[in-house]
Structure 1
Amino acid sequence: MDWENARYLLVEQQIRPWDVLDQKVLNRVLAVKREDFVPADKKELAFVDIELPLGNGTQMLAPKMEAKLLQDIDPQPSDKLLVVGAGTGYLMALAAGLVAHVYGVEIDAAQADTARANLAAAGIKNATVTQGDALAAAQVQGPFNAIIVTGSLVEVPALLKDQLAVGGRLIAVVGELPIMSATLVSCVDKGSFGFRKLFEYNLPRLKNVAEKTAFTF
């Protein structure tokens, strides 16, 4: 396969039509070899417009969604960014070229090891992967200027919001089927948050998300 041509077509045919027009984000998509971050047996699917199953109950976001989330979180060069659900490390690799440091937390220990190996092989120096449950404990590296969640949530938990620095942003897909929405949470002041729905998109749940209980009488 001509990977470079496939990468160019990925940007022009999938990512730009999704209103991802920030050139610095597009440059990262062109620079980072996504095919090196997908599982070896799925390499030929590296540029397919799907959430790619990783075999451990998690998934790799579709390329357009990775680029869209990164653009909409508005990464800044001085930012400390957290990726909840590090996966294979690809989204972290994209972000690493746009922020001061990117941290990833991954609940699956083997997947965390894979992400670390992929990032090291790609020469990414400003990325750190931690194994753990981001919904159970705050990350010691916080507070963060930006947080990206790679699986859907019923609602954004206080534990994540409280790890935002003042002026920080969090983006996550929130809601229940059949309609979920990518939602931007902004930390206006300590304990004060603004919310804005950006676009509709359905994603599988982040691991260990508690569903709402249906009351019966």
Structure 2
Amino acid sequence: MVDYRAARLNMVEYQIARRGLTEPAVLEAMAAVPREKFVPTALRDRAYDDTALPIAHDQTISQPYIVALMAWAAELERGNKVLEIGTGSGYAAAVMARLAGRVVTIERIASLADSARARLNKLGHANVQVIAGDGSAGCEAEAPFDAILSAAGSRTVPSAWKEQLAIGGRLIMPLGPFGDQQLVKIVRNGENDYARKTLVAVRFVPLLGGTG
């Protein structure tokens, strides 16, 4: 029988903190969310492996370090409203829910959205809204967002995301062709002023949808 709590704390220490991500709030969120609840039953004993894992519909749950890195780069605070593109199993949304005030997360595959919604509700994440739809268009009805995080990569930054980002907001996304993506942080400093910083090489599923 795997001691999931011990495995989770070990993951936080060795996979995240010792790689230089030492922001207390992020470490606390990663230590609090039971990743084993967000992976397929057959893979629960591998929930805290230092890798992405497959979920339904050929999608993945991201490597814990990448989830932590994205949350850290987004500089999430309690009053923030966050948009996530690509809910998947809901794991990253659960982490962000412990850091931000409200999380709106969009999943293209309706059955994944339904299961993530049920899972997040069961775990008590009342500040997360799961929407089934085209994440490439963002969520204009809820904009502006203090942070937007994408779990799918694109060759270009969707214009809707840039427009829906608040002044001072942070956009974290994989950018570039599949197989040659970089995780980038884009900060909106003014109406038409965006600054970009490259964080690390990554490999995410491609963004699909009207502007994917």
TM-score normalised according to structure 1 size: 0.91
The AA in structure 2 aligned to 1:189 is: G
1:194 to 2:178 alignment:
no
Distance 1:16 1:130, change over 3 A: same
Aligned to 1:146: 147
Distance 1:204 1:164, change over 3 A: same
The AA in structure 1 aligned to 2:99 is: L
SS at match of 1:176: coil
Judge conservation of contact 2:51–2:63 (CA < 8 Å) in 1: yes
Q: Distance in 1 between matches of 2:167 and 2:209?
A: 27
Aligned to 1:65: 66
Coordinate RMSD, CA, aligned: 1.7
Runs of 5+ unmatched residues, structure 2 = none
SS at match of 2:8: helix
Q: What is the aligned length? A: 211
The AA in structure 2 aligned to 1:186 is: V
Of all paired residues, the percent bearing the same amino acid is: 30
Distance 1:73 1:48, change over 3 A: same
Deviation of residue 24 (structure 1)?
0.6
Q: Distance in 2 between matches of 1:110 and 1:77?
A: 30
Aligned to 1:12: 13
TM-score normalised according to structure 2 size: 0.93
Runs of 5+ unmatched residues, structure 1 = 212-217
Aligned to 2:36: 35
Which structure 1 residue ranges, 4+ long, deviate > 6 Å from structure 2? none
- Stretch moving more, 137-146 or 121-130: 137-146
Q: Distance in 2 between matches of 1:164 and 1:52?
A: 30
- Larger relative helix fraction: 2
Q: Distance in 1 between matches of 2:178 and 2:94?
A: 30
Distance 1:205 1:146, change over 3 A: same
Aligned to 2:167: 166
Q: Distance in 1 between matches of 2:210 and 2:66?
A: 21
Q: Distance in 1 between matches of 2:171 and 2:206?
A: 17
